[in-house]
Amino acid sequence: MRVAVTGGGGFLGSHLCEALLRRGNAVMCLDDFSTGQPQNIAHLRDHPAFEFIRADVTEPVDVRGRVDAVAHLASPASPPDYLRRPLQTLAVGSRGTERMLRLAERHGARFLLASTSEVYGDPLTHPQSEEYWGNVNPVGPRSVYDEAKRYAEAVSFAYRRSLGVNVGVVRIFNTYGPRMRPHDGRVVSSFITQALSGEPLTIYGDGKQTRSFCYVDDLVRGLLAMLDSDETGPVNLGNPQERTVGELAELVLRLTGSTSEVQYHPLPTDDPTRRRPVITRARELLGWDPEVDVEEGLLRTVDWFSSRPQDLATAAAA
Ligand code: NAD
Ligand code: UDP
């Protein structure tokens, strides 16, 4: 099987490329490195079944050879990243998704869309199951990401209904692990790099907002299960262990043994107050369940960041 992975040079995409190669698939990785990094895939470059194309998937891409599946992960994912690139984020969710759907249609390939829990916005029901339609501010700053993903889901379903494309949509909840950029602004990478560099941990708001954090290896198992299935979804993929941001800060301080202080900053506009996935669908349809406890996953992530003191120094300077 030959899989095109868009966003394959990013955090999740690089782990997916690695997992696909490990199980014997060929991988064509497409990335423009707008938020990804060449070093994420440097160790794969010499693999005989790995091919890299530097490309912006909102523009025409010269894809040669057969493609059996398209995993569409290209999109900024961290709030500071997509707030800095509002038009590009909308373009990759809309035009980029359509281009990749057309590629899948031409090849009769499976199409996997990496959607997000952000389609639920600031949810009015808790926890969130796939039946919930969401509560998104369509004109707020986060809308460039939320609405791009909602459109990406809509156009994927339309390609399935109108053209019979074998589409599968997963809604990913906050995922963390090695290869997050230390300065990407997401909460896990920020707290760990701050704790390891002795900088204050920056809590936005009162720290009572919750998220449910999933370790990257678990998430990638879920992506593979969805890719291999014929399910359309949408299917939530996330770890239902819910924590407040304040609890996460305490946990990171304990696991790193850091004496960093905690500093409170204003809550960003439209920052969701609660997030926890219902994962019954993933369990029943894909036989998937997260296995890595948040403490264990954070320890592995701390170890990874600790082994890169140079990156931490860059983050502290940024
Ligand atoms: P990331 O920023 O590390 O990776 C995204 C990759 O897409 C980067 O390598 C970037 O360079 C590439 N990219 C962006 N625009 C592109 C374009 N126009 N053409 C080609 N490449 C482009 O983010 P991530 O955390 O790995 O997220 C991957 C996917 O998973 C995204 O679609 C994101 O929305 C989704 N997701 C992630 C999370 C999470 O917690 N990590 C949660 C929900 C959804
Ligand atoms: N957050 C925080 N400090 C940071 C970065 C983020 O308190 O340095 C908060 C953020 O406001 C949000 C939560 O942590 O409430 C998760 O943020 P992240 O950017 O990781 O993901 P998302 O908001 O997309 O779920």
* pLDDT tens digits, one per residue of 158-207: 999 999 999 999 999 999 999 999 999 999 999 999 999 999 999 999 99
In short, whether 264's Cβ falls inside 6 Å of ligand 2 is: no
In short, whether 29's Cβ falls inside 6 Å of ligand 1 is: no
Q: Which is the catalytic residue, given 82, 120, 132, 145?
A: 145
pLDDT at 41: 98
In short, whether 137's Cβ falls inside 6 Å of ligand 2 is: no
In short, whether 211's Cβ falls inside 6 Å of ligand 2 is: yes
Q: Which atom of ligand 1 is nearest to the CA of 115?
A: 44
Using alpha carbons only, give the angle 63, 50, 60 rounded to the nearest 5 degrees: 20
| Banded model confidence at residue 315, pLDDT cuts 50, 70, 90 | low
Higher pLDDT, 84 or 310: 84
Query: Can you tell me the mean pLDDT for 266-289?
Result: 96
pLDDT at 281: 98
With a cut of 90, say whether residue 310 has pLDDT above it: no
Considering every ligand atom shown, identify the ligand nearest to the alpha carbon of residue 122 and give its number: 2
Least confident range from 68-72, 269-273, 283-287: namely: 269-273
220, burial (CB in 10 Å: exposed 0-12, middle 13-18, buried 19+): buried
Q: Whose CA is nearest to atom 41 of ligand 1?
A: 175
Q: Which atom of ligand 1 is nearest to the CA of 180?
A: 3
Q: Look up 176 and say whether it is catalytic.
A: no
Q: Whose CA is nearest to atom 6 of ligand 1?
A: 7
pLDDT at 314: 60
Q: How far is Cα 67 from Cα 45, in angstroms, rounded to an integer?
A: 19
| Banded model confidence at residue 309, pLDDT cuts 50, 70, 90 | confident
| Banded model confidence at residue 312, pLDDT cuts 50, 70, 90 | confident
Q: What percent of the chain has pLDDT over 70?
A: 98
Distance 200 CA to ligand 1 centre (A): 27
In short, whether 75's Cβ falls inside 6 Å of ligand 1 is: yes
DSSP H or E stretch at residue 255 = helix 245-256
With a cut of 80, say whether residue 318 has pLDDT above it: no
Distance 10 CA to ligand 1 centre (A): 6
List Cβ neighbours of 218 (8 Å cut-off, separation of 6 or more): 239, 290, 291, 292
With a cut of 70, say whether residue 224 has pLDDT above it: yes
Phi-psi category of residue 70: left, alpha or beta, with phi > 0 → left and psi -120 to 50 → alpha:
beta
In short, whether 119's Cβ falls inside 6 Å of ligand 1 is: no
ipTM exceeds 0.95: yes
| Banded model confidence at residue 108, pLDDT cuts 50, 70, 90 | very high
